[in-house]
Structures are given as C-alpha cells and as structure tokens.
Amino acid sequence: MAAPPRILLEIQAAHHLLAALQGLVPGIPELSPQLVFYRAAIAANQALHQDLGLSAACARCAASTLGSCCFPGGENYYDSWLLLVNLLLGVELPHAPRFRENVSFGF
C-alpha cells in the first residue's frame, strides 16, 4: 500500500499541534487579537484581489491547462505550521484529496 500523500501527513501533524495547544491558547492573551487582525488582513487582501480583477484572472488561469494554484503537487507547498494557523482561524482541512490527481486544495 502506498504511503499517504505528504499533505495528509502535514494535516495530521497540524491537528496534533492544535490538540497540544488547546489548553495553552487561553494562556496566550495576545493570540486571539492577532488572529482577528490576520483574518481582517486576509479579507482585505481578498477584497483588493476582487477590486483589481485578480480573482477573475485566477479563474481564467484555473480553467487553462495547469490551472492557477490548483495543480497536482501544489498542496505540497503547505506545512503543518501554516495549516495550524488555518485551523486556529477555523478552516476545516480535508482528510482526503478533494479533486482528481490528488490535488487536496482548490483556491
């Protein structure tokens, strides 16, 4: 049986990190405001992408041969720490590839 894709191991590691942090997060008072700030920065970035037409450009590229951020192996750019930040922001991470050819994430 083949080993699981690297991204699934990274997702599992991120969940373990989150579980280890669960009891510590209330003891880190500056973490919650930083997550709120980061979430607002992400929203502002997404709004800027819309305003500049980058979202439409990404959609056109995604429909092309390789796609934009959604290509086989693209998920390997993510490590457990970045995935942990996503978990802290409330993002639900996949437990199996979502798309053909083992592409786990689509943007």
Residue 3 confidence (pLDDT): 53
In a domain, 66, yes or no: yes
- 21-78 pLDDT, tens digit per residue, is 887 767 777 888 898 999 999 999 999 989 998 888 877 777 776 655 666 677 778 8
In a domain, 28, yes or no: no
Residue 72 confidence (pLDDT): 64
Domain count across the chain: 1
Residue-number span of the structural domain to which 65 is assigned: 35-94
In a domain, 81, yes or no: yes
In a domain, 11, yes or no: no
In a domain, 43, yes or no: yes
Distance CA 57, CA 54 (A): 5
Global pTM reads: 0.74
